[in-house]
Amino acid sequence: MNPTTFRRQGILFVISAPSGTGKTTLCENLRATPDFIYSVSCTTRPARPGEIDGTDYHFLSKEEFLSRIHHGDMLEHALVHGNYYGTLKATVKEALTQGTDVLLDIDVQGAASVRKTDDVMVRDSLVDVFIMPPTLEELEKRLRKRGTETEEQVQQRLRTGREESKLWPLYKYTILSGSMEEDLIKFRAIMRAERYLSRRLELTDLPAS
Ligand code: 5GP
C-alpha cells in the first residue's frame, strides 16, 4: 500500500512585539530551525555594531528604499522610530510557493498591512503572533540592558511600546513574554499546531484501498 503523503503551502509567521521585548533573540533562535526561512528586512536605519548587511537587514539609503517601494518590491513597509523598514515580496512569495515557512519580524503597522493585503496566497498563509511584555517596567529594564539606544531613543521606544501593546487583540496568538526559553517553547507550540491544520494540507498520493 502506498504511504499517505501530504503537500502544503508555506506558513507566513509574523511576530510583532514592542522593541526590547526580546523578539530579536527569539527570532535568532528560531532561525536555527531547518525548513524555515527568516525574511531579511530592508531598512534605512544605520547598522548597529555587529550587525551584518544581508543577514540582519539589507541596509539601504532612503533613495534606494523609496525606489524599491516605487517598483512594487515591498510586501509591506512602515516608518518605525523615524526609519523605514520593509519586507521584500519576492523572497516571501517564492518560499511560500515552495512549501517553506517564513518568519517575519515586523512592527504592528507592517502586520496590519499584511493582514489586509489583497494577495490571497499571502493572506491565507498568515499566522500572526504578538509577544506581550510582562510589564512596562520590565520592558524598560530590558531596553536599557540592551544599551544600544540613547536616552531619547529609549523614551521614544517606550512610548511606542505602550501604544503597540494595546494592539494584541488583533493578532491570532498572543504570548505573554517570560524567559527566552519559555517564549521559544510557546512559539514552537504554535508553529507545530499550525503545521498540522487540515486546511493547509493537500494529499499527494491517495492511499490505496
Ligand atoms: P530594530 O531597529 O530594533 O531592529 O527594529 C525596530 C522595529 O522595526 C521592530 O519592531 C521590528 O519588528 C520592526 N521591523 C523590522 N523589520 C521590519 C519590516 O520589514 N517591516 C516592518 N513594518 N517593521 C519591521
CA distances from 4 to 52, 162, 191, 193 (A): 43, 48, 22, 19
pLDDT, tens digit, for every residue of 29-62? 988 877 789 999 999 999 999 999 999 999 999 9
DSSP 8-state symbol, 98: T
Ligand 1 atom 9, closest CA: 107
**Distance between the two ends of the chain, CA-based, in angstroms?**
8
Are 128 and 172 in contact, with CB atoms under 8 Å apart? yes
CA–centroid distance for 177 within its chain: 16
Grid cell listed for 134: 510582562
Tell me the best of 53, 105, 150 to mutate to test the pocket of ligand 1, counting ligand atoms within 8 Å of each CB and taking the most: 105
| Mean pLDDT along residues 194-199 | 94
With H, G, I as helix, E, B as strand and everything else as coil, classify residue 52.
Answer: coil
Q: Longest Cα pair distance anywhere in the chain, in angstroms?
A: 68
Q: Compute the distance between CA of residue 122 and CA of residue 127 in angstroms, rounded to an integer.
A: 10
Q: Answer whether 110's CB lies under 8 Å from 22's CB.
A: no
**C-alpha–C-alpha distance, residues 137 and 149, integer Å:** 17
Q: Which residues contact ligand 1 via a Cβ below 6 A?
A: 19, 41, 45, 76, 78, 80, 85-87, 105-107, 109-110
Q: Which helix (H) or strand (E) holds 83?
A: strand 83-88
User: Mind listing the pLDDT tens digit for each residue in 82-139?
Assistant: 899 999 999 999 999 999 999 999 999 999 999 999 999 999 999 999 999 988 888 8
Give the β-pairing of 173-176 and 83-88: unpaired
More reliable by pLDDT, 77 or 24: 77
Give the pLDDT confidence of 157-181 residue by residue, as tens digits: 899 999 999 999 999 999 999 999 9
pTM assigned to the model: 0.92
Query: Rounded to the nearest whole angstrom, what is the distance from the C-alpha of residue 6 to the centroid of ligand 1?
Result: 34
Residue 203 confidence (pLDDT) above 60: yes
Q: Give the ligand 1 atom nearest the CA of 57.
A: 16
CA distances from 39 to 31, 89, 95, 96, 102 (A): 10, 10, 10, 11, 7
Residue 169 is predicted with a pLDDT of 98
Cα(53) to ligand 1 centroid in Å equals 15
CA nearest to 199, candidates 124, 129, 128: 124
107 CA to centre of ligand 1 in angstroms: 5
Rounded to an integer, what distance in angstroms lies between the CA atom of residue 150 and that of residue 132? Answer: 23
Residue nearest to atom 15 of ligand 1 (CA): 106
Residue 3 confidence class, pLDDT cut points 50, 70, 90: confident
Domain 4-196 classification at class level: alpha beta
Mean pLDDT to the nearest integer, 192-197: 94
Which of 16-25, 163-172, 184-193 is predicted with the least confidence, judged by mean pLDDT?
16-25
For ligand 1, atom 12, which residue shows the shortest CA distance? 106
Instruction: Give the Å distance between the CA of 122 and the centre of ligand 1.
Output: 19
Q: How many angstroms separate the alpha carbon of residue 105 from the centre of ligand 1? A: 6
